[in-house]
Amino acid sequence: MDLKPGIYEHYKSGKKYRVIGMAKHSETLEDMVVYEALYENEMSKLWVRPLTMFLEEVEFEGKRIPRFKYLSEK
């Protein structure tokens, strides 16, 4: 499964992230998304999340929406 690199918005916070690319979990070989917070974040600038979770839909305010919405290439 492929994921388009670019800018995404998180459904709940509205915060933006840049998807850098894909990686494999070293033990399970699960596909992971590597992404960068585009806002000040003291915990970490870089994050990883399983691809299936990144792409899943969540229920928010009674609607099914993507957890991360693609916005643009840059």
Q: Please report, for the domain that includes residue 63, its CATH number.
A: 2.30.30.320
pLDDT values of the chain reduced to their tens digit, one per residue, 74 residues = 679 999 999 999 999 999 999 999 999 999 999 999 999 999 999 999 999 999 999 999 999 999 999 999 97
CB 68 within 8 A of CB 10: yes
User: Rounded to an integer, what distance in angstroms lies between the CA atom of residue 31 and that of residue 52?
Assistant: 8
- Sign, Cα dihedral of 50, 47, 21, 59: positive
| Count of domains forming the chain | 1
Cross-strand partners of 4: none
The answer to the question of residue 1 being in a domain is no
Q: The domain containing residue 50 runs over which residues?
A: 6-72
CA distances from 56 to 40, 44, 49, 59, 74 (A): 25, 23, 11, 10, 22
Confidence at residue 1, expressed as pLDDT on a 0 to 100 scale:
63
The answer to whether position 66 is within a domain reads: yes
